[in-house]
């Protein structure tokens, strides 16, 4: 099947041809006709299979009769609302939307937090038909009373599972309640599904069509998985060695926390590796700057968190390294989905320490793949690394006994005085003085100036008055 067989308008087909696309992906083949028919969709596909175009192309076609070249803002009300969990994903969706709508009269806009809200308010007041937004910033704009949802005909939730993970369900529910119910078409797209996603779908979708190209929570067959068991203390050294090898040229490294992301990037830079980081604490300008540097090759390694990397669209990214395994196996699917896109080959490497083995087991159960484990010499895992885990704690290793060495020769100690057993004599002091002995006077040395011998100098008498010395010299002064 070709795109020109799907019933798309010439101006939309022209934009598709400009991108070099001729045949739709499986998710696009199934979803585009259903969306154009006005059906509610619950769609799932592997990351990188073109699901963004699966809802943007048919919505452009369905709303094309409302496109107007008029400059009046009243002729450009919000007709399609697309919600994305992160700024990066919102920007990516909007870029694709602008690309496909460039030959139409539609106005598009992307709004997200972390930047000044005033330019966004001004752009909305000028009129916009397709609005891509993050939930938090959209509610901020609602409070500014600059949005009118009465003309909204389509609602799209992209990466709905990530919205649930990030706690956006209350915000999404509030937004849904602000939209028209009867005339609204709702689309829910996600790379993975869960029971919570089904509950959300039941509350917003009307008789939805399930579009699921691949099995739930599967990964691309073009991705090679590999695990390096390593102790937690040696992870940084092993990562540095891998990045310095010829195998890795452009790498996206995942960590779990923002603090670890920034710290790891700084350590890689100190090791002489061109690296940068992207996480929630960075401003939007800093994140975009780091992403552009990674795309153009001036930065070799980009360290990112799960949330910040959601929506990153990097052509032909060859490698993804999990510096730390995620706590939920679905996040592993999203992480490695950055590579192996559009049928291209990719490599997913994970550095796993002993306490992360249970996470690895859950990941293998989800993706139904037994991941190859390769121990690198000099970077062995902890002694209690056990795969598959048995649940039994291994006893701690005792340190190896040191080689026997000759003991230093000790000098013989002086003989001790015999200890007297029995009652202690209280008349004898510790220094040997006998209190019971009769007093014996000691011969005293003569005082005064009488010498002890003919050759010895005479000792001064301490009781003899001293010779007066002038007060000016610090003496006793002149006697009266």
A 10 A CB-CB count for 45 gives 23
3-state secondary structure of 460: coil
Full strand arrangement of the beta sheet holding 41-44: 108-111, 130-133, 80-83, 154-158, 185-190, 41-44, 209-212
For 123-134, what is each residue's pLDDT tens digit?
A: 999 999 999 999
pLDDT at site 102 = 95
DSSP H or E stretch at residue 387: none
Q: Where is average pLDDT lowest: 22-26, 72-76, 458-462?
A: 458-462
Per-residue pLDDT, averaged over 39-58, amounts to: 84
Residue 270 structure tokens? 């100190």
Rounded-to-integer distance, Cα 94 and Cα 152, Å: 17
Residue 107 structure tokens? 């106005």
Rounded-to-integer distance, Cα 209 and Cα 187, Å: 10
3-state secondary structure of 472: helix
- Residue 284 has, within 13 A of its CA and on its CB side, a CA count of 13
Nearest to 299 by CA among 253, 338, 237: 253
Cβ atoms of 66 and 43 closer than 8 Å = no
Angle among Cα 38, 91, 243 to the nearest 5 degrees reads 125
Per-residue pLDDT, averaged over 107-111, amounts to: 97
For 277-303, what is each residue's pLDDT tens digit?
A: 988 788 778 888 888 898 888 999 999
Per-residue pLDDT, averaged over 311-315, amounts to: 67
Cβ atoms of 226 and 374 closer than 8 Å = yes
The pTM (predicted TM-score) of the whole model is 0.64
pLDDT at site 224 = 92
DSSP H or E stretch at residue 158: strand 154-158
Per-residue pLDDT, averaged over 30-49, amounts to: 85
Angle among Cα 79, 80, 83 to the nearest 5 degrees reads 145
CA distances from 6 to 9, 49, 329, 368 (A): 9, 18, 36, 35
Residue 78 structure tokens? 């919000």
Rounded-to-integer distance, Cα 324 and Cα 350, Å: 7
Nearest to 205 by CA among 154, 251, 252: 154
Asked whether the predicted pLDDT for residue 162 surpasses 90, the reply is: no
For 353-411, what is each residue's pLDDT tens digit?
A: 999 999 999 999 988 899 999 999 999 999 889 888 776 666 555 545 555 555 556 66
DSSP H or E stretch at residue 317: none
Rounded-to-integer distance, Cα 184 and Cα 133, Å: 18
Rounded-to-integer distance, Cα 294 and Cα 283, Å: 17
Asked whether the predicted pLDDT for residue 143 surpasses 60, the reply is: yes
Rounded-to-integer distance, Cα 192 and Cα 161, Å: 7
3-state secondary structure of 170: helix
Residue 234 structure tokens? 């040696």
């Amino acid at each position: 099947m070709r795109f020109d067989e799907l019933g798309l308008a010439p101006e939309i087909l022209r934009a598709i041809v400009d991108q070099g696309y001729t045949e739709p992906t499986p998710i696009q083949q199934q979803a585009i006709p259903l969306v154009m028919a006005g059906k509610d969709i619950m769609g799932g596909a592997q990351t990188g299979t073109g699901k963004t175009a699966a809802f943007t192309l048919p919505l452009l076609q369905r709303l094309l009769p409302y496109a107007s070249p008029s400059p009046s803002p009243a002729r450009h009300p919000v007709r399609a609302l697309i919600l994305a969990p992160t700024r990066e994903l919102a920007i990516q969706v909007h870029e694709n939307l602008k690309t496909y709508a460039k030959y139409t009269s539609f106005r598009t806009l992307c709004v997200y937090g972390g930047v000044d809200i005033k330019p966004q308010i001004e752009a909305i007041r000028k009129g916009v038909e397709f609005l891509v937004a993050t939930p938090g910033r959209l509610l901020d704009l609602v409070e500014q009373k600059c949005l009118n949802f009465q003309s909204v005909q389509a609602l799209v939730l992209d990466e709905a599972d990530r919205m649930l993970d990030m706690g956006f369900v209350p915000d999404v529910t509030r937004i849904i309640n602000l939209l028209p119910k009867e005339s609204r078409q709702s689309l829910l797209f996600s790379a993975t599904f869960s029971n919570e996603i089904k509950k959300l779908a039941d509350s917003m979708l009307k008789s939805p069509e399930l579009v699921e190209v691949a099995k739930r929570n599967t990964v691309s067959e073009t991705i090679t998985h590999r695990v390096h068991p390593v102790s937690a203390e040696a992870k940084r050294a092993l990562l540095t060695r891998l990045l310095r090898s010829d195998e890795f040229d452009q790498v996206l490294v995942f960590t779990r926390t923002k603090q670890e992301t920034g710290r790891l990037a700084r350590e890689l830079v100190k090791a002489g590796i061109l690296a940068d980081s992207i996480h929630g604490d960075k401003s939007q300008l800093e994140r975009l700057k780091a992403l552009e540097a990674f795309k153009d090759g001036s930065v070799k390694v980009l360290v990112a968190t799960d949330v910040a990397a959601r929506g990153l669209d990097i052509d032909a990214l060859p490698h993804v390294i999990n510096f730390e395994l995620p706590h939920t196996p679905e996040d592993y699917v999203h992480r490695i989905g950055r590579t192996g896109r559009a049928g291209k080959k990719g490599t997913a490497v994970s550095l796993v320490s002993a306490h992360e083995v249970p996470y690895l087991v859950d990941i293998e159960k989800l993706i139904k793949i037994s991941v190859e484990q390769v121990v690198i010499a000099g970077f062995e895992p902890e002694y209690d690394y056990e795969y598959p885990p048995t649940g039994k704690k291994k006893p701690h290793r005792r340190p190896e006994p040191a080689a026997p060495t000759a003991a230093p020769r000790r000098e013989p100690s002086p003989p001790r005085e015999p200890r007297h057993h029995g009652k202690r004599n209280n008349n004898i002091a510790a220094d040997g003085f006998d209190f019971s002995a009769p007093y014996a006077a000691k011969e005293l040395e003569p005082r005064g100036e009488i010498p002890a011998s003919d050759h010895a100098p005479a000792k001064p008498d301490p009781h003899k008055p001293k010779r007066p010395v002038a007060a000016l010299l610090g003496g006793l002064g002149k006697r009266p």
